[in-house]
Chain A
Amino acid sequence: MDFSFPPEVEAFRTEVKAFLADNFDESMLDVTHDGTMHVPELHAALAAEGWLAGPVPKELGGGGRTALESIVLNEEMQLARAPIDAMGVTVITAAILMEHGSDHLKETVVPALLNGEALTSFGYTEPESGSDVAAAATKAVKDGDEWAINGAKMWTTMAHIADYVILLTRTDPDVPKHKGLTFFLVPFDTPGIEIQPVPTMATERSNATFYDDVRLSDDWRVGEVNGGWAVMKTALKYERGVAGGQFMSPPVIDAGIDWATNHERADGTRPIDDLAVRERLIRAQIDVEVCRGFAYHCADLANEGAMFGVEGSMTKLFASETFKRHCREIHDMMGAEGLLTLESPEAHHGGLIEEALRHSPVTAIYGGTSEINRNMVAEGFLGLPRAR
């Protein structure tokens, strides 16, 4: 066993820290502006460093960064509270296009994604298919030289600021559901697309997107016809390297410690001197170290080229469920003061803790619900029979 990084990865961590100090501070996070955590200046700076395509192999035009370097970038960004969503979508979409895209897509779209000029969004989930993603019903039908696409997608987050959506469609309804899927990259300026906002219980906005006889040439197809599931596997492969969420808690815990140390209750005592508060904060810090162990373990496995599934499921399950608990407990600790939202100038730490509390439920839902991940662990790790 050895839980330290090679010197070159530690050097990269130093580089990332300096980069974040120069290019990001929390005041740039203005979720009230367009409903997203996207920070265009940061995205452009990441692109300039060549880090947006970090985990993609050099021969495919990426940065050739190892999984260890990817987790370090991910960790430092999350600790600094820099949003990683746009970076994640960009890396995964670029990787999909480089592995499965037509020459047209590789020559026009990929460079724009990697230099930060273009943004994409994910179009997997539908109103009637969430966890059962392979049941997608959005139809793509070949009509002469063109494809005609009809259907609807849910949770197309960032669609309203993005240029493209990577769309999962049904091209054959008469075969088992995994075998009749095809991917397309769809430009949002194509006629027939409607984007409707989906307000959420957090301040952030998502979208529903509707596709009404959207016409595309075959150049926009990604991967084989009915080969969509192979493309999905590429997406999952890169998600291992960039998918975040292992370090969501530290900024909330740090803000909580700051509050507990610098505020007095009505009786003149500080929360940080309350044994119950201290135990809760230490428990949260222990959970953070467990998440760190999971993150480094997954990076180690990916670095060795090992395919893994259950380790990722465990990481996602543990990180999101504990994040929810940390948000709840730290928010409670602030009592009525915790109710002030980020719109209030009086909100402690810019309303970070309150905003995290309202955001936290979705972390145990998107990218694989906790229930799906428990199924994966029960079947894949414990060898229990399939229960659905």
Chain B
Amino acid sequence: MIGLMRTRYSEDEVAVRDAFFDFFANECPTTTVRAAAEGTGFDPALWSSLAAMGAPGMALPESLGGAGAALTDLAVVADVAGAHLAPVPLIEHAVTARALARAGGHDDLVAELAEGSTLATLALRPPTGDTARLVPAGAVADVLLHHCDGVTSSSRGNAPGIKLPNTADLPLAHRVISDATAIELDTDGWNRTVDEWRALTAVAYVGLAKRAIEIGVAYTKERIQFGVLIGTFQALQHGFADAATSVEGAHLLAQRAVWALETEQPGASRLAGMALLFAAESARFAADRSVQYHGGYGFSEEYDVQLYHRHATAWILQLGDPAAEYARLADAEFGPVMGAA
């Protein structure tokens, strides 16, 4: 929509949120996250259930088997998926499918992706030689898009089915792309795809961060030290207040970035880059506070809060060093560094 200035979820968005919140609360408790971590980092049963809810094809055109919903609707799902650390590559899959739909000429494949019967992902960084390293969902995805020297290419069927051991047990794997074929998606189209990944991942980070704070706050309302609830200590309260403020700001920025991409506002790409950086930093801060206020228990594997800390660390690094993202935004804002090669 345009011209309403509505900074809260609409009634329809709230309905979508509630439905998917209940879904993840039931289908994806942290035991599910832990179980996936023991295997590929991907939960096929959860993905099937999510597909039955229509999530993979939600923001694909109806003519290609999708539901024709907006990116802002998909963001509502990304928010609650993030809150539950869902071990499914919903964001990678959706933005890759949208890229193939925009490229055109892949109608059958896009229809499979809309159903969720085929899993797609993208190499967020250019390959080195014939290998794309540490591809998100690379351990399990059937279809892989990558971009190199202005050309976007698609390859299929090389999933190793095993993840590289990593910080958050994500389904990361290297992928050989020597048999890839070029598709009709230029550099602008590719950049748009990565911007969608940035904005939706920012939204997922907000979901993660809010839940991390909830877990921490709940703990400080039951933990007694020195004869009182530790939640009464102002030192803890102020740490949580700073985290919550930052996360609320991240929420408004991430949602604005998704909306700007959806409605093709000038500056949408800038907002997507900013939203990811700010949301990642906010989520890492929130998770750090929450682990800290758990004391020793926060460090133990038994407590869920450490899962949030590890995912907060990992998600943005699939794209690269945040410093490189700041530098990228700076190049767009101030021009390239003078004297640099």
Q: Which of A4, A275, A373, A374 contacts B5 (CB 8 A)?
A: A4
Chain B: minimal CB distance from A157 (Å)? 27
Q: Is the CB of A257 within 8 A of B334?
A: yes
Chain B: minimal CB distance from A355 (Å)? 25
Contacts of B240 in A (CB 8 A): 378, 382, 384
Q: Which of A269, A279, A289 contacts B330 (CB 8 A)?
A: A279
Q: Is the CB of B337 within 8 A of A3?
A: no
Q: A-facing mask of B315-340, CB < 8 A → 1, else 0?
A: 00000000100110110011001111
Q: Is the CB of A384 within 8 A of B237?
A: yes
In the complex, whether B25 has a CB less than 8 A from a CB of chain A is: no
Q: Is the CB of B249 within 8 A of A374?
A: no
In the complex, A57 Cα to B259 Cα: how many Å? Answer: 32
Q: Is the CB of A68 within 8 A of B237?
A: no
Contacts of B245 in A (CB 8 A): 314, 317-318, 377
In the complex, whether B220 has a CB less than 8 A from a CB of chain A is: yes
In the complex, whether A387 has a CB less than 8 A from a CB of chain B is: yes
With A279-B326, A281-B330, A378-B238 already in contact, the answer to whether A296 and B5 are too (CB < 8 A) is yes
Q: Is the CB of B5 within 8 A of A3?
A: yes
Chain B: minimal CB distance from A66 (Å)? 10
Q: Is the CB of B241 within 8 A of A374?
A: yes
Q: Which of B2, B5, B72, B229 contacts A299 (CB 8 A)?
A: B5
Q: Is the CB of A296 within 8 A of B7?
A: yes
Q: Is the CB of A261 within 8 A of B334?
A: yes
In the complex, A3 Cα to B259 Cα: how many Å? Answer: 7
With A269-B339, A314-B248, A384-B217 already in contact, the answer to whether A1 and B255 are too (CB < 8 A) is yes
Q: Is the CB of B237 within 8 A of A374?
A: yes
With A293-B7, A314-B248 already in contact, the answer to whether A1 and B337 are too (CB < 8 A) is no
Q: Which of A7, A285, A371 contacts B333 (CB 8 A)?
A: A285
In the complex, whether A286 has a CB less than 8 A from a CB of chain B is: yes
Q: Which of B232, B256, B274 contacts A385 (CB 8 A)?
A: B232
Contacts of B24 in A (CB 8 A): none
Contacts of A377 in B (CB 8 A): 241, 244-245
With A285-B274, A289-B274, A296-B7 already in contact, the answer to whether A278 and B330 are too (CB < 8 A) is yes
Which residue on chain A has the smallest CB distance to residue B235? Answer: A387
Chain A: minimal CB distance from B47 (Å)? 27
In the complex, whether A22 has a CB less than 8 A from a CB of chain B is: no
Which residue on chain B has the smallest CB distance to residue A299? Answer: B5
Most chain B C-beta atoms within 10 Å of own C-beta, residue among A290, A296, A301, A383: A290
Q: B-facing mask of A363-379, CB < 8 A → 1, else 0?
A: 00000000101110111
In the complex, A383 Cα to B234 Cα: how many Å? Answer: 13
Q: Is the CB of A385 within 8 A of B231?
A: yes
Contact count band on A: 35 or more
Contacts of B333 in A (CB 8 A): 281-282, 285
Chain A: minimal CB distance from B246 (Å)? 7
Q: Is the CB of B259 within 8 A of A1?
A: yes
In the complex, whether B308 has a CB less than 8 A from a CB of chain A is: no
In the complex, A270 Cα to B335 Cα: how many Å? Answer: 13
Chain A: minimal CB distance from B3 (Å)? 5
In the complex, A270 Cα to B337 Cα: how many Å? Answer: 10
Q: Is the CB of B237 within 8 A of A387?
A: yes
Complex interface residues of chain B between 210 and 262 (CB less than 8 A to chain A): 213, 217, 220-221, 229, 231-234, 237-238, 240-242, 244-246, 248-250, 252-253, 255-256, 258-260
Chain B: minimal CB distance from A215 (Å)? 44
Q: Is the CB of A273 within 8 A of B5?
A: no
Chain A: minimal CB distance from B326 (Å)? 4
Complex interface residues of chain A between 207 and 252 (CB less than 8 A to chain B): none
Contacts of B241 in A (CB 8 A): 317, 373-375, 377-378, 381-382
Q: B-facing mask of A268-294, CB < 8 A → 1, else 0?
A: 011011010011011101100111011
Chain A: minimal CB distance from B127 (Å)? 26
Most chain A C-beta atoms within 10 Å of own C-beta, residue among B234, B245, B326: B245
In the complex, A182 Cα to B248 Cα: how many Å? Answer: 37
Contacts of B242 in A (CB 8 A): 317, 374
Q: Which of A279, A303, A311 contacts B327 (CB 8 A)?
A: A279
In the complex, whether A144 has a CB less than 8 A from a CB of chain B is: no
Complex interface residues of chain A between 340 and 374 (CB less than 8 A to chain B): 371, 373-374
Contacts of B258 in A (CB 8 A): 1
In the complex, whether B1 has a CB less than 8 A from a CB of chain A is: yes
Complex interface residues of chain B between 42 and 73 (CB less than 8 A to chain A): 72
Which residue on chain A has the smallest CB distance to residue B335? Answer: A272
Q: B-facing mask of A153-183, CB < 8 A → 1, else 0?
A: 0000000000000000000000000000000
Contacts of A297 in B (CB 8 A): 7-8, 252
Chain A residues in contact with chain B, CB under 8 A?
1-7, 9, 68, 257, 261, 269-270, 272-273, 275, 278-279, 281-283, 285-286, 289-291, 293-294, 296-297, 299-301, 303, 311, 314, 317-318, 371, 373-375, 377-379, 381-385, 387-388
Given contacts A289-B274, A317-B242, 7 further A-B contacts (CB under 8 A): A6-B5, A270-B338, A273-B338, A282-B330, A289-B253, A291-B249, A377-B244
